[in-house]
Amino acid sequence: MADQGLSFDNPLFKQFAFYSGVVIVKTMSMSALTAFNRIRKSVFANPEDCALGKAMNKECKPTLTDPTVERIRRCHLNDLENVVTFVLVGLLYVASGPDPTTAAMYFRIFTGCRLMHTVAYLGQIPQPSRALMFGGGLVVSMLMAVDVIRKATF
């Protein structure tokens, strides 16, 4: 059976850590992008946040419907739904001792799909580009999860 350890001594875990790190940084950067645009456009969710806009001599309009901010937030929520489940499943998957070649392929496809998903979402690239990237990532996560369940059935 392949190496199952959740540590950097296991080359597959190290690879998983790399790709997980990349998609998590991408997800966290949505937080920063939301904050940046809220301040830039002075559109805040809470009344007390207007102080941040007023400090820049901007009119404050508390709103939950700014198209730019809401688009970033939808992209962020989609990351939470997909990236977080990928990393959770991936930890269990690496611990199940999968075939390293298949695993590496899954990690790369997922990471590629999610990076391109963000480009398609924020760049408003015509569909079905975003739908395909979303689907690709979801299928990879599902395949990993099914493999975990199959190997863990007792």
Nearest residue (CB) to its own copies, 59 versus 126: 126
Beta strands in the chain (DSSP E): none
Q: Quick check: 2 binds its own copies (CB under 8 A)? A: no
- Rounded to a whole number of angstroms, the minimum distance from the CB of residue 43 to its own copies is 14
Angle (CA) 102-107-113 rounded to 5° is 120
d(CA 145, CA 111): 16
Q: Quick check: 102 binds its own copies (CB under 8 A)? A: no
For the beta carbon of residue 126, count every other beta carbon within 10 angstroms: 8
Q: Quick check: 11 binds its own copies (CB under 8 A)? A: yes
d(CA 16, CA 135): 20
Q: Which of 39, 75, 73, 72 is nearest to 57 (CA)?
A: 39
- Footprint of its own copies (CB under 8 A): 4-9, 11, 13-15, 17-18, 20-22, 24-25, 27-28, 30-32, 35, 45-49, 51-52, 71, 74, 76, 80-82, 84-85, 87-89, 91-92, 95-97, 121, 124-128, 130-131, 134-135, 138, 141-142, 145-146, 148-149, 151-154
